[in-house]
Amino acid sequence: MSRVVVIGGGIAGYSAALGARREGAEVTVVARAPGATALYAGAMEVVDDLDAILKTQPHHPFTRLGLDSVRLSLELDAAIQSLLLALEKDGLKVEGGWRTRGRYADIHGLARPGNLVPATVAPGELQALIGRRVAVVGVAEVGDYDAVATAQALSELHGITAFAEQVSIADLPTAAALTDLYGRRAPVLTKARAATAAYPPGFTNLPPDSFELLSTPPSPHGWRLQQAIGLGSIKATVESVESARGRITSVRAGERSLRGDSFILATGHHIGGGLDGGRVPSEPLLNLGVFHDGEAVAGSGTRLQHLQYIDPAEELRSGLRADNQLHPVDESGQVPYSNLYAAGAVLGGYDYAGACGFGVPILTGWLAGRWAAKSGT
Ligand SMILES: Cc1cc2nc3c(=O)[nH]c(=O)nc-3n(C[C@H](O)[C@H](O)[C@H](O)COP(=O)(O)OP(=O)(O)OC[C@H]3O[C@@H](n4cnc5c(N)ncnc54)[C@H](O)[C@@H]3O)c2cc1C
């Protein structure tokens, strides 16, 4: 049985562990802390237009896999089926598929697209709400959320018949925050019969015919997901690696030395800690190459710094570059470690908070896990 060590406890690390276990590997996941996964709004974007990505985005991690759209589609099917089953087993029911995309409102009534959403969010798909009466639940003591404004936005922006319904939760202090609702039982509405109820996120035991709105950070949806995927991982920081003859032999996390046949770097972007920011972004653990638009950032002079100033979203496309087996390369394009794989937002070439925000971590994690497990046998 091969031993796979996954560094990173976000959605990429979780998907990598699933892929590796699927191939029969013994998997250890090491994670320092929650990263970007714990901040997601509640709607997972997997992919918008796969064919367009393959045609127009040569540096996108999907394109760099070198697979045609049929094979990629099959891998996405397998990865997502396996992810939804595993999440349900770990206590979080998520619905949807990568071929369909819905739109869901956040606490301000603004729409966000999503391919996969928690079962508590799914009934709030905006198109499905047209023609229904929606009662937006407001909590009188909460100061950072206004159900009246949200209902107004649902009506004006999305043509939904919506109105606010205020409740009071006696043991909350005045000017409580949305986060104070986390884990409380949903208050039952008395007046708004015959209406679908839209709850701010965080409550438990939602009544029938109701749903949760999406969140802004800090996100109850992200926290629930992080708790589900974090079961069974070792909480530690990987500080260094030992290697011999172009292969990593073990990683050191505090007093522990974790040996493995293959290693997966799923350390995320700036928030996760997989990349250090600054004037020139770098990869802190192994000093791997960081690329922007296919070019090593170390050699791009002041262009990237100007880009950070003019268009920060574009700068977020910087990250690791991998070959078509997900082995990360150094600045000269060579693979420094033949048993190292990279997955998720640590990879560059795409907008990690955009249309493939979860798609890249899920698919690259799944494939990295499977390939790592197979190569170690
Ligand atoms: C504010 C925000 C909101 C977002 N909302 C959405 C959304 O609504 N929908 C969507 O589709 N996408 C969204 N995204 C994008 C999406 O959340 C991320 O792309 C995705 O979660 C990245 O997953 P990951 O596993 O690659 O990285 P992360 O979740 O960041 O995980 C990285 C992990 O690596 C660990 N790590 C790093 N270095 C080490 C080390 N040396 N040793 C041990 N562990 C280490 C970290 O502690 C962490 O556990 C959002 C992003 C942000 C920032």
Q: Is the CB of 254 under 6 A from ligand 1?
A: no
User: Which residues on adjacent β-strands are paired with residue 304?
Assistant: none
Q: What does the alpha-carbon distance between residue 354 and residue 314 come to, in Å, rounded to a whole number?
A: 11
Residue 41's Cβ-side half-sphere holds a number of Cα atoms within 13 Å equal to 23
Position 373 scores a pLDDT of 98
For residue 41, give the ligand 1 atom closest to its CA.
Answer: 8
**CA 93 – ligand 1 centroid, Å:** 20
* CA-closest candidate to residue 129, choices 157, 97, 98: 157
Mutate to test the pocket of ligand 1, among 39, 46, 107 (most ligand atoms within 8 A of CB): 39
User: CA nearest 10: which of 347, 370, 315, 349?
Assistant: 347
d(CA 18, CA 3): 13
Separation between Cα atoms, residue 363 and residue 11, nearest integer Å: 10
d(CA 62, CA 180): 40
Q: Is 110 in the pocket of ligand 1 (CB under 6 A)?
A: no
Nearest atom in ligand 1 to 12's CA = 25
**DSSP helix/strand/coil, 374:** helix
pLDDT 10s digits, 323-342: 999 999 999 999 999 999 99
Topology adopted by domain 3-94+238-375: FAD/NAD(P)-binding domain (3.50.50)
| Sheet hosting strand 319-320, strand order edge to edge | 295-296, 290-292, 319-320
pLDDT tens readout for residues 171-208:
998 889 999 999 999 998 876 567 899 999 999 999 99
| Cβ 32 under 6 angstroms from ligand 1 | yes
Q: E strands within 8-156?
A: 26-31, 94-96, 102-105, 111-114, 116-118, 133-139
Q: Which of 107, 234, 238, 358 to mutate to test the pocket of ligand 1 (most atoms within 8 A of CB)?
A: 358
Between the CA of 269 and the centroid of ligand 1 the distance, in Å, is 7
* CA torsion angle 115 121 127 132 (round to 10): 170
Whole-number Å distance, alpha carbon 10 to ligand 1 midpoint, is 5
Q: Is 272 in the pocket of ligand 1 (CB under 6 A)?
A: yes
Name the residue with the closest Cα to ligand 1, atom 20.
37
Per-residue model confidence (pLDDT) at position 155 = 97
CB-based contacts of 69-78 (< 8 A; 24+ apart in sequence): 72/363, 75/363, 75/366, 75/367, 76/46, 76/47, 76/359, 76/362, 76/363, 78/366
Residues in the chain, pLDDT under 70: 191-193, 301-303, 305, 307-309, 312, 376-377
User: What pLDDT, in 10s, does the model give residues 307-326?
Assistant: 666 776 777 899 999 999 99
pTM above 0.85, yes or no: yes
Rounded to the nearest whole angstrom, what is the distance from the C-alpha of residue 351 to the centroid of ligand 1?
13
The owner of tokens 């190292």 is: 340
Ligand 1 pocket, residue 285 CB under 6 Å: yes
Residue 357 to residue 272: CA distance in whole angstroms = 14
Per the structure block, which two tokens stand in for 247? Answer: 């292969």
The pLDDT score that the predictor gives to residue 377 is 67
CB of 9 closer than 6 A to ligand 1?
yes
Protein residue closest via CA to atom 41 of ligand 1: 238
User: Is ligand 1 within 6 A of the CB of residue 44?
Assistant: yes
C-beta of 238 in contact with ligand 1 (< 6 A): yes
